[in-house]
Structure 1
Amino acid sequence: MEKQDQLLMKKQNKNLVLDLIKGRGPISRTEIAKITGMSPTSISRIVHDLHEQGFVRETELVTSGVGRKAVLVDVEKDVLFTIGIDIDKSNIKMAIVNYVGDIIDLIEIQRNHSENYEETLSKITNHIRDMIEHNRISNEKIIGMAVGLPGYIDYKNGVVKLSDQLSWKEKPLAEDLKRLTTFDVVVDNELKMKIISEYFIGRAKGVKNAVLVGVGTGIGSAIILNGEIYRGESNNAGEIGHTVIDPTGNVCNCGKIGCLATYISEGAILADSRKVKDLTSIDDVYEAFRNREQWAINILDRTTTYLALAISNILCLYNPEVIILSGNLFEKLPEIKEVIETKFEIYTWEPVKETVRMVYSQLNNQGVVLGGAIQAQNALLDLD
């Protein structure tokens, strides 16, 4: 076997053992050897290396039947940290997350609609610095950060190709944030980060195929197939907001006619509502729906119909085990869930309806920052 292949195998075995301890700890070396099929000698060597690097620690002795007591090993939660950032049109969320996914600190700050790219980056940099200092975490323990935002993202190069919600185009976000913070940076579409958190700790945990649909300032989806994010050729897989549902319909920001986003996004709902009534925000529309005002019922009836059709089409294309609905529409107007579920029954093809679970995200405002922190850890952690 080539030396390079041997080194790769050692690294893979080390990652396997660490993942096992992380997922099942506290656990004995003997049990690790049984599960992995590796020799007790190899396991002892790997655990020793991980202990020397600070990733694992020995826990209390426990009785394991007759004879000697077994020493258990568990992960060291605070061996490293990552930072997850969620940038939306009107707010920014930032969280420091430890190795096992516990949120150490989470803040939310306002973002002005008129705020430019440089102002947003300056605001993020200053607050991150304050969070690190406040929690007394050394920079050496932070392996990197990840930013989730709406739009078309060049994931490999960390470039925001286009974000209509933020009015950003061709912004080298990863490069700029690294220059300002010194940390390595991962940039991705916010729904792809959110489905990562759902897959590891949320409603998609334990499944191989899942779809997340997010409805808020825009509409989009993210897809996991066989345990991995499906990105497509240009990281745009799941951009259902730009599927055309009415070729004679509304004009979209992308320049096309009749995109789904022009009927389902908060901006589209509010624009149609203002043709009927002078309103301040989307919350006024939701309040009118609760008050059974007919115009609000009609507008949201159309919205839920288009959403149910979009869900039906996604299920036929990808046939997932679970479809997760998330976003402001469901958080601010939970009454709409009953309407969606009724239309789901009407429009979904029976063979896929029998095998899929439609559920709602329970991560609330933490989904993107948690997914970002997990994604940063997966992408940037490199065990020697």
Structure 2
Amino acid sequence: MEKQDQLLMKKQNKNLVLDIIKNKSPISRTEVAKVTGMSPTSITRIVSELHSQGFVRETELVTSGVGRKATLLDVCRDVLYTIGVEIDKLIIKIGIVDYVGEMAAWLSIPRDEAESYDETLMKVNRGMRDLIEKHQLPFEKIIGIGVGLPGSIDYMNGLVKVSDQLKWKHARLADDLKRLTGFDVIIDNELKMKVIAENFKGMARDSQNAVLVGIGSGIGAAIILNGEIYRGDSNNAGEIGHTVIDPTGNVCNCGKIGCLATYISEGAIIADSKKIKNIQSIDEVFAAYRKRDSWAINIMDRTTTYIALALSNILCLYNPEVIILSGDTIEKLPELKGEIERKCELYIWEPIKDTLKVVYSGLSNQGVVLGAALQVQNSLLDLD
């Protein structure tokens, strides 16, 4: 037992030193010792191990100021790679991310709404292999794949319980994709993957409590409380699309009446638009809104009202420092931002308004992919 405790502490110290070098580089061994409280001898030994494993390198930079000069340390961004995948209703996005979280390769592939589960997985496998070959990345440095997708996800067992957008139920996605690709696979709800990216380098970087709201083919949220993703009992925390806002309202795919998603998802907007015009896509609705067609203005006015009400409810429940709006609806029609903010002023409880920041994701279409790749590092990287 004592030996196991020593090995665990050694591993924890090694991870701590690597995290400090990664986040504060370039940095000297002396400074690492000060930050960690470890002895210079221990730091030298750990850095030597990390160097031999390819994680750390000495730079050409040296410390400034008085005293003996010391060479500064940095991490090797190409020591490993992780693959991030987003599977959505009409598109598949694949990215390969290096150790410091930079996108080394990127590909997006159209997805047919009617294509089968197996067809989608084959597309992911082909796209991933094409990227690896095109950018000449070594297979042995890729430690795994992370997949973000809409729906109720059992991330511990790699199971898609149900995804309304993809029309998948009880799909053993992690196992199936591992058999196809040969890589270890983790999966999670797309917004939970994306909030990891926001926390790493986005709008939630300095926040311990934040909520990310995604509005597009569906609507949902991901919640960070005290620096950790809040999942709830079955990883369904944040499924605001299935909160009931009108018990006499529209029928939802889930079987309930009046769910939020039946009023502000892209499908709901298109369905309402078809009652008035021969509309085939959300882009046509947005174009009509920009032309100031009255029917489009009325539909989007109702949409922004429900968005503001949803935000008000989230804020009263979780009281985050920041709430981040993202998704295709916000990105394709940024004109809605001002209208949403105006209605938030009307509906959000006064004591919360004073400290709240409503911001917009700056990760564009790469957020889910980046978060999925980062989560692979968090989950699968094991320093011996």
Deviations 1:221-255 (A, max 9, x none): 00000111000010000000000000000000000
Letter in 2 for 1:99: Y
User: Matched residue of 1:77: which SS?
Assistant: coil
User: Matched residue of 2:355: which SS?
Assistant: coil
Is it true that 1:49 corresponds to 2:49 in the alignment? Answer: yes
Aligned to 2:4: 4
Offset at 1:119? 0.5
User: Matched residue of 2:71: which SS?
Assistant: strand
Is it true that 1:245 corresponds to 2:245 in the alignment? Answer: yes
Offset at 1:67? 3.9
Aligned to 1:129: 129
CA contact under 8 A between 2:97 and 2:104: conserved in structure 1? yes
Structure-2 separation of matches of 1:25 and 1:316: 39
Number of positions where the alignment pairs a residue of Structure 1 with one of Structure 2: 384
Structure-1 separation of matches of 2:61 and 2:309: 57
Letter in 2 for 1:93: K
Is it true that 1:65 corresponds to 2:69 in the alignment? Answer: no
What runs of 5+ residues in structure 1 fail to find an aligned partner? none
CA contact under 8 A between 2:83 and 2:97: conserved in structure 1? yes
Aligned to 1:170: 170
Offset at 1:290? 1.0
CA contact under 8 A between 1:212 and 1:221: conserved in structure 2? yes
Aligned to 2:378: 378
Write the mapping of 1:107-186 to structure 2, written as runs, cut at 5 A. Answer: 107-186=107-186
Structure-2 separation of matches of 1:12 and 1:333: 46
Aligned to 2:346: 346
Write the mapping of 1:1-384 to structure 2, written as runs, cut at 5 A. Answer: 2-384=2-384
Aligned-residue Cα RMSD (Å) equals 0.9
Structure-2 separation of matches of 1:18 and 1:327: 34
Structure-2 separation of matches of 1:62 and 1:14: 23
Offset at 1:63? 4.6
CA contact under 8 A between 1:88 and 1:150: conserved in structure 2? yes
Structure-1 separation of matches of 2:352 and 2:14: 40
Letter in 2 for 1:107: L
Structure-1 separation of matches of 2:374 and 2:351: 34
Deviations 1:141-197 (A, max 9, x none): 000010000000000011111001001010000001110111000100000001000
Offset at 1:65? 2.4
User: Matched residue of 1:78: which SS?
Assistant: coil
CA contact under 8 A between 2:63 and 2:71: conserved in structure 1? no
Offset at 1:61? 4.2
Structure-1 separation of matches of 2:141 and 2:238: 34
Offset at 1:64? 3.0
Offset at 1:139? 1.4
Q: Which moved more, 1:347-356 or 1:193-202?
A: 347-356
CA contact under 8 A between 2:28 and 2:63: conserved in structure 1? no
Structure 1 runs of 4+ with >4 Å offset: none
Structure-2 separation of matches of 1:45 and 1:340: 55
CA contact under 8 A between 1:61 and 1:69: conserved in structure 2? no
Structure-2 separation of matches of 1:23 and 1:112: 41
CA contact under 8 A between 2:312 and 2:349: conserved in structure 1? yes
Length-normalised TM-score, structure 1: 0.99
User: Matched residue of 2:383: which SS?
Assistant: coil
Letter in 1 for 2:149: L
Length-normalised TM-score, structure 2: 0.99
Structure-2 separation of matches of 1:144 and 1:29: 31
Letter in 1 for 2:220: G
Deviations 1:33-86 (A, max 9, x none): 011111111111110110011000001142532342111110000000000000
Structure-1 separation of matches of 2:370 and 2:24: 20
User: Matched residue of 2:170: which SS?
Assistant: strand
Letter in 2 for 1:263: Y
Deviations 1:14-49 (A, max 9, x none): 111100000011100000001111111111111011
Structure-2 separation of matches of 1:62 and 1:377: 30
Structure-2 separation of matches of 1:107 and 1:125: 12
User: Matched residue of 1:105: which SS?
Assistant: strand
What runs of 5+ residues in structure 2 fail to find an aligned partner? none
CA contact under 8 A between 2:220 and 2:240: conserved in structure 1? yes
User: In structure 2, do the counterparts of structure 1 residues 339 and 61 end up closer, same or farther at CA, with 3 Å as the change threshold?
Assistant: closer
CA contact under 8 A between 2:159 and 2:170: conserved in structure 1? yes
User: Matched residue of 2:78: which SS?
Assistant: helix
Question: How high is the sequence identity, in percent, across the aligned residues?
Answer: 71
